[in-house]
Amino acid sequence: MNRYTKYNPYWPETVIFWGAGATKPLNMKTTKELGQLFQTLAAVVDSDVHSLMSAVEQAFPDAKEQVRTELGALLKLIDTTFFDQEEEAMNVLKIPKTRAQHLQMLYDWQAVKLVIKRCPRHPFSLEDLYNLLDLHIQVQKGIDVEGQFITLDRLIAARRTLDMLTQLIHAIGYAQLLQDPKTKSLYQHYHQFAMTLARRMMEEGVQRADRTVPFDDRRFYLFSYAVISMNWDPIFLWLIFNAHNVVNHRSPNIGSPSQPMKLFNDLAHFIAVRKVEDQTPSAWFPMNETAVQQLNDDTYMSGRRVRIGKFYFPHGCHGFRQCPKCGKLTFYLGNEWRIDSSSLFPPQILPSLSPKIPRSCEEKVAMESGIYDAVQCTHCGTITESHHTAFTTQTNFKLIQPSFIQEIQNDMKVALENAKHLIFAGYSLPNDDFIDRIMLSARRKMDGDKVRCSIIGFNKEAEDQWMYGEDLKKFCRIHNHSGLAATRDRVAGIFGEENVRGYAAGFPHVFMENGRVSEGKVEEMMRVW
């Protein structure tokens, strides 16, 4: 008699690709919009202050006046064509000469403007800009633009500048989200969506607790869904964290002896999250499977039973700070447990976008010296700045990733290989994400069973309904220039047309009905159809 049994470890059936299209209604810029902003800011006559400030106002018409003034000062400071404006820029940014020199060493806006001139202009693409920079950086060669030779060190500084400004643009967008009553009201709907997901996972846990499955088995403690955030912002994770915080305070009891069930997230790496409400930069470590199995072991009375949901940042996050000394990762998520926390994004270079709330003597000294983006490493205490943010950008030249990004991607790969349902939520599977395309193609080839795919895009003429088969094909033929049509073609090319459905009324309509979040529509979105 064969004593061996098949081993098929449980993984979430549904995986959500959370893309920029999902947060676009919240004023968070998409990749295309980021490219347009950089092109607008770069279209400035050298040394023309009026032209620069006009470009800043055009790029950020709804931002606070103080933010626009500080951004203009920062661009002048890191652009040598405005050398005569240095003193004024330092006064606006409230920084000493030493800090100004440090920023000028790190960043080079003039080099960015020159490289943009070498990119195809119609249409201009952020991917092209990064590709041009990464091509020359990898081969360690400078580049000539209109008779000016840009050295390798300036190209590296230009790339660093793009990364810094990308973070800054999204931080400005989040600040505007909180300032605009209409967008902030919309944000509440996203919070209710996260709350609905949390309640579903509580109900799912109660149902699974009634089965003959041990609590330390993945079939109990793993959520039936996972999230792959293709965005660099932490907004969706923050909403889920807060939703779990709410439902955990009124959670049901399960098991015998009866103990309360709690929901947490596994970030696929043992990440040190800077404690949200604390007086020091000390760390709080989110749940992982090791801790969950210990807490859920029937041998012990741990005081709770735990379920966890996988949440991946395969491209990193604006909240990730990698220490330049010890190399470890600290995740910054602000200073207060509120969905509308004004400090959710890490402190930025601009003083008005830094909460300026030091938690240690070291952070206080750094901020008093003009390092408004200072965040202390929770592991060794070294001060980190914006340029230590760990996130990868749109480029076909994939550089060597930090070990924690690789670890996240490895875990994500297995989740994709086992998923039965993929939701492309505002994510178009663009050409630069070729690693993810290869992963999905491998998923298709390794498993003969069907992988269902749900695509959520936006077209102002679309009806509030899911489309299947011929209805979806007809819609995409009529609206062949829409993002939904392009995504549908890419996904159908991998998984087959019969396994793809589409929703084109966008966010937040996909989970709302009569002005409220609908549990029925969330169920329709999430189910393995």
Of the candidates 19, 32, 43, the one whose C-alpha atom is nearest the C-alpha of residue 125 is 32
Query: Across residues 294-298, what is the average pLDDT?
Result: 92
What one-letter code names the amino acid at 212? Answer: T
Question: Percent of the chain having pLDDT more than 70?
Answer: 96
Which distant-in-sequence residues (6+ apart) come within 8 Å of 438 by Cβ? none
pLDDT digits (tens, 9 = 90+) for 401-428: 889 999 999 999 999 999 999 999 999 8
pLDDT at 437 over 70: no
pLDDT at 211 over 90: no
Cα separation values, 519 from 76, 200, 211, 314, 516, Å: 50, 9, 25, 29, 9
User: Contact, 113 vs 107, CB < 8 A?
Assistant: no
Query: Across residues 187-204, what is the average pLDDT?
Result: 98
Report H helices in 180-277. Answer: 181-209, 218-221, 235-247
Element (H, E) at 526: helix 519-526
Of 120-129, 209-218, 256-265, 512-521, least confident by mean pLDDT is 120-129
pLDDT digits (tens, 9 = 90+) for 111-127: 999 999 999 877 888 99
Query: Across residues 17-29, what is the average pLDDT?
Result: 96
Of the candidates 14, 68, 372, the one whose C-alpha atom is nearest the C-alpha of residue 228 is 14
What value does the mean pLDDT of the chain take? Answer: 93
Q: What is the 3-state secondary structure (H, E, C) of 292-360?
A: HHHHHCCCCCCCCEEEEEEEECCCEEEEEEECCCCCCEEECCCCCCCCCCCCCCCCCCCHHHCCCCCCC
Residue-wise DSSP of 486-515: HHHHHHHHHH-GGGEEEE-B-TTGGGEETT
What is the CA angle 240-28-346, rounded to 5? Answer: 65
pLDDT at 107 over 90: yes
Spatial distance between the Cα atoms of 506 and 102, rounded to a whole number of angstroms: 44
Query: Across residues 196-212, what is the average pLDDT?
Result: 94
Query: Across residues 140-165, what is the average pLDDT?
Result: 95
Which distant-in-sequence residues (6+ apart) come within 8 Å of 109 by Cβ? 75, 78, 79, 161
What is the CA angle 183-180-247, rounded to 5? Answer: 50
Residue-wise DSSP of 56-100: HHHH-TTS-HHHHHHHHHHHHHT-GGGGGGHHHHHHHHT--HHHH
User: Contact, 387 vs 163, CB < 8 A?
Assistant: yes
Question: Percent of the chain having pLDDT more than 90?
Answer: 83
Cα separation values, 454 from 9, 189, 426, 427, 467, Å: 25, 21, 11, 11, 10
Give the per-residue pLDDT at 16. Answer: 98
Spatial distance between the Cα atoms of 295 and 254, rounded to a whole number of angstroms: 14
Between 104 and 460, whose confidence is greater? 104
Confidence grade of residue 311 (pLDDT, cut at 50, 70, 90): very high
Spatial distance between the Cα atoms of 50 and 92, rounded to a whole number of angstroms: 16
Q: Estimate the share of the chain in helix, then strand, then coil, as percent rounded to the nearest 5.
A: 50, 15, 35
Between 162 and 395, whose confidence is greater? 162
Is residue 263 classed as helix, strand or coil in its secondary structure? Answer: strand
pLDDT at 1 over 70: no
pTM: 0.95
Query: Across residues 138-144, what is the average pLDDT?
Result: 93
Cα separation values, 63 from 7, 34, 175, 319, 452, Å: 55, 15, 8, 22, 41
Query: Across residues 31-53, what is the average pLDDT?
Result: 90
pLDDT at 446 over 70: no
Give the per-residue pLDDT at 395. Answer: 80
pLDDT at 6 over 60: yes
Give the per-residue pLDDT at 441. Answer: 66
Give the per-residue pLDDT at 433. Answer: 65
Spatial distance between the Cα atoms of 454 and 452, rounded to a whole number of angstroms: 7
User: Contact, 275 vs 283, CB < 8 A?
Assistant: yes
Query: Across residues 484-511, what is the average pLDDT?
Result: 93
Give the per-residue pLDDT at 210. Answer: 86
Confidence grade of residue 432 (pLDDT, cut at 50, 70, 90): low
pLDDT at 439 over 80: no
Q: Calculate the CA 112 to chain-centre distance.
A: 24
Which distant-in-sequence residues (6+ apart) come within 8 Å of 216 by Cβ? 292, 293, 296, 297, 298
Q: What tokens does 152 get?
A: 């390798």
User: Contact, 21 vs 487, CB < 8 A?
Assistant: no
Length of the chain: 529
User: Contact, 306 vs 286, CB < 8 A?
Assistant: no
Report H helices in 348-482. Answer: 361-368, 403-418, 434-446, 469-478
Give the per-residue pLDDT at 240. Answer: 98
Peptide bond just before 123 cis, omega within 30 deg = yes
Between 212 and 24, whose confidence is greater? 24
